[in-house]
Amino acid sequence: MRGALTPGAIRERLRRRPPFGLVTGDQGHRRFSHQRTRAAVLVGIVGRPAPTVILTQRTAHLRDHGGQISFPGGRMEADDPDPAATALREAQEEIGLTAASCRILGELNQYDTITGFRVFPIVAWVEPPVSFDPDPIEVAEVFEVPLAFVLDPAHHRRDSYRTGDVERSYWVLPFGERYIWGATAGMLVNLATLLRGEGEEISPRP
């Protein structure tokens, strides 16, 4: 990334995010629906000397995405005024991260999933000290990934599988023994692209 990694610099990168040229959804699958359930996730960047990104390991028994790695988040409720409110509420409920600990910096491009969700990734700066109190029903573990790891394109990999005559491809960020893939990996690739400044060469916003 060109320039210092400050909340102001991140906010400016997000403000100038391009309307196209980034990952916008799971690819190579036919089960897309025009009906989308709106959801939001919190992409929390912890302002440590070496910044990190907050992720969760979901409990194995959950019906949707059990055992997978994800951002804290969930579907928008009728009384949520905007996606940022949803992301903050869900982060409080899932991992005990209070809204007072988060400074909203902006959004990544929305991401459509094959399970029928339109996800709004809300990026927030989380100032240490920070502690977590995960909901044991939904979250098996909260952990942090170094932002430097996310930014390095050498850690971005494409995997795929075939179901019948359909091949589905998706992003993967292998992190030690953890397999970060699918929508979470796609949104992390978008975050890395923007923070490295590559989005500005695609189509800057005014």
Q: Return d(Cα 84, Cα 79) in angstroms, integer.
A: 12
Q: Residue 132 domain-assigned?
A: yes
State the pTM of this model. Answer: 0.88
Domain count, the chain: 1
Q: What is the largest CA-CA distance in the chain?
A: 50
Task: Give the C-alpha separation, 164 to 93, whole Å.
Answer: 39
pLDDT in tens, 77-114: 999 999 999 999 999 999 999 999 999 999 999 998 88
Q: Does some domain include residue 29?
A: yes
Share of the chain above pLDDT 90, in %: 66
In a domain, 205, yes or no: no
> Residue 200 above 90 pLDDT?
no
Rounded to whole angstroms, how far apart are CA atoms 183 and 162? 18
Task: For residue 107, give the DSSP letter.
Answer: E
Residue 68 lies inside a defined structural domain of this protein: yes
Residue 30: predicted pLDDT: 44
d(CA 134, CA 156) in angstroms, rounded, equals 28
The answer to whether residue 127 is domain-embedded is yes
DSSP 3: S
Residue 170: which CATH number? 3.90.79.10
Is residue 83 situated within a structural domain? yes
Residue 26: pLDDT band (50, 70, 90) is low
Would you place residue 178 in the very low, low, confident or very high pLDDT band (cuts 50, 70, 90)? very high
In a domain, 52, yes or no: yes
The parent domain of residue 140 ranges over 7-198
Residue 56 lies in a domain: yes
